[in-house]
Chain A
Amino acid sequence: GIQVEQSPPDLILQEGANSTLRCNFSDSVNNLQWFHQNPWGQLINLFYIPSGTKQNGRLSATTVATERYSLLYISSSQTTDSGVYFCAVVHDMRFGAGTRLTVKP
């Protein structure tokens, strides 16, 4: 099956900083999602992004399917952005290991 790798595994930011999270996948995919898991365990859909770029407020994502990676950008981070960010290849529902983000006030 498809392998999904995320980096970095852990990220600590000061409030207001920007960050980029990366997701690499081992084979061509035609659907990819980014999720945020909050401290209570709830998974929140951020982006369904098989290709191209999408933006939602302070968050944006870009998937370059031909080069097998996707990026999640968080700008002007806030403490509420803390949690774990997962990317997943939707068709196989294979998740990456996640990036644990901590935003400090």
Chain B
Amino acid sequence: GAVVSQHPSWVICKSGTSVKIECRSLDFQATTMFWYRQFPKQSLMLMATSNEGSKATYEQGVEKDKFLINHASLTLSTLTVTSAHPEDSSFYICSARDLSGWVYEQYFGPGTRLTVT
């Protein structure tokens, strides 16, 4: 089956620093990747849609200058949390869509737990 990896799986950083999270599709090409955040005991909230070779599309209320997304290749998208603050602490999950079979099924990475101190 399709596999998506994320790195790192957890990170602790100090307030004001930036953190980069990588999302890779390991055995398929993903023209579209998605970034979510999840607070404890809550559902997933879509932050942005990342398309290879073009600018990401951000959901309403998500600061594009704070959450920088780059989708440089068909297998890699990155999310950079800039000038992180404690309220950015959350579980960040990426997903990728495999369109080779023209099915819109999505596959999720294992998530990255970010703690900002």
Contacts and interface: CB of A to CB of B under 8 A. Distances in A.
Interface of A: 31, 33, 35, 40-45, 48, 86, 88, 90-91, 93-98, 100
Interface of B: 1, 34, 36, 38, 41-46, 49, 91, 93, 95, 103-108, 110-111, 113
B106 A41 contact: no
A86 B43 contact: yes
Contacts of B41: 100
Nearest to A97: B43
Nearest to B4: A43
Contacts of A94: 46
Contacts of B110: 40-42
Given A41-B91, A43-B93, A93-B34, A35 B108 contact: yes
Contacts of B103: 48
A90 B43 contact: no
Contacts of B95: 43, 93
B111 A48 contact: no
A94 B41 CA distance: 17
Contact of A98 (B43, B91, B105, B111): B43
Nearest to B49: A93
Given A33-B105, A90-B105, A95 B91 contact: no
B105 A45 contact: yes
Nearest to B34: A93
Contacts of A43: 44, 93, 95, 108, 111
A86 B49 CA distance: 20
A42 B42 CA distance: 14
Q: A-B pairs with the 8 shortest C-beta distances?
A: A43-B108, A48-B105, A41-B111, A90-B104, A95-B43, A95-B44, A31-B104, A97-B43
Given A41-B91, A86-B43, A86-B44, A93 B113 contact: no
Contact of A33 (B34, B46, B106): B106
